[in-house]
Amino acid sequence: MAEPVLAIEGLSKRFGAVIACDDVNLDLREGEIHALIGPNGAGKSTLIKQIAGEIASDAGTVHFAGVDISALDAVARARAGLARTFQVSSLAPEFSALQNVMLAVQSGAGGTFRFLGRALSDPALTEPAMAALSRAGLAERARMTASDLSHGERRQLEIAIALAMRPKAFLLDEPMAGMGPEGSKTLTGFLDGLREEAPILLVEHDMDAVFALADRVSVLVYGKVIATGGIDEIRADPQVREAYLGEEGP
């Protein structure tokens, strides 16, 4: 089998007495959606932050595209091809939707230290940015200020920004959160196709989406991965049922 795109080994993180991430092993393979589920406070977002390089891990390594990126910071990891979306939308609020995406295009295209050329009307930036917005279903909101977008549209903008980075892997932290049933369905359809472009590590509470999309599921409880496997395996796992699915009933 081919080497996984993303391989996490022995990752740990504690906040004082809280062990948010406890010796986690996880990988993400080409072409798959790997869902990461777990109750509130299980440490899912913490794990995403550790993979993205936003918080330092206490122990463990992260290999990405065959390279050990454990020592790289968040900027370098993004440049290496890791795109993440935030559980709580994190945008440049005064920028238009288009400008938000242009930042991501510019990161790849270079020229951040160019002081004179007009960026705002530069097709090298605007065209790929528009394309990403269209794919995320936000084309007609391109000129709208990010802070004026609806909650669901901000979620879509997060996706558009990640798309514009043309990453080698996506880390999506609850992309459906607060999208409403209609929005969730559309996004589910979109992510289904996206896995061909780059594999997705998907943190999600929406079980319909998880069961519709995931090739594999990992269950995180108190910072520990208690099970990893196909959907049926996970559904049947007694430990998972007790710790997590049991709360809602299958």
Partner 1 sequence: MNRETAINTVLVAGLAAVPLIASAFDDPFIVTLATRIVIFALAGVGLNLALGYGGLVSFGHAAFFGLGGYAAGILASHALNYEPLATWPFEISGTTQMLVIWPIAMVVSAFAALVIGALSLRTSGVYFIMITLAFAQMIFFFAISWPAYGGEDGLSIYVRNQFPGMNTLDPTSFFLLACAILALALLFSSRLSASRFGLALKGARQNDQRLASVGIGPFRVRLTAFVISGMITGLAGALFADLNRFVSPSMLSWQTSGEIMVFVILGGVGRLFGPVAGAALFIILEHSVGPISEHWQFLLGILLLAVVLFARGGVIGVLAGGARHG
Ligand X SMILES: Nc1ncnc2c1ncn2[C@@H]1O[C@H](COP(=O)(O)OP(=O)(O)OP(=O)(O)O)[C@@H](O)[C@H]1O
Q: Does 87 bind Mg ion (CB under 5 A)?
A: yes
As a whole number of angstroms, the distance between CA 125 and CA 127 comes to 6
Q: Which does 67 bind (CB under 5 to 8 A by kind): partner 1, Mg ion, ligand X, none?
A: none
The region of 43-51, 160-168, 187-195, 235-243 touching ligand X under the rule CB under 6 A is 43-51
Name the CA radius of gyration of the chain, rounded: 18
In the shown chain, the binding pattern of residues 91 to 120 toward Mg ion, with x for contact by CB under 5 A and - for none, equals: ------------------------------
Residue 78 contacts partner 1 per CB under 8 A: yes
Can you tell me which residue has the tokens 């995403």? 48
Q: Which of 6, 8, 11, 20 binds ligand X (CB under 6 A)?
A: 20
Residue 216's CB: how many other CB atoms inside 10 A?
Answer: 19
Q: Is 13 helix (H, G, I), strand (E, B) or coil?
A: strand
Helices (H) and strands (E) counted in the chain, each on its own, are 9, 10
- Touching partner 1, residues 89-148 (CB under 8 A): 90-95, 99-100, 102-104, 106-108, 111-120, 122, 125
Alpha helices in the chain (DSSP H): 44-52, 74-80, 97-109, 123-135, 151-164, 180-194, 207-213, 231-236, 238-243
Considering only 4, 35, 45, 62, the residue that binds Mg ion (CB under 5 A) is: 45
Name the site residues for partner 1 (rule: CB under 8 A).
52, 54, 73-76, 78-79, 83-84, 86, 90-95, 99-100, 102-104, 106-108, 111-120, 122, 125, 161, 165
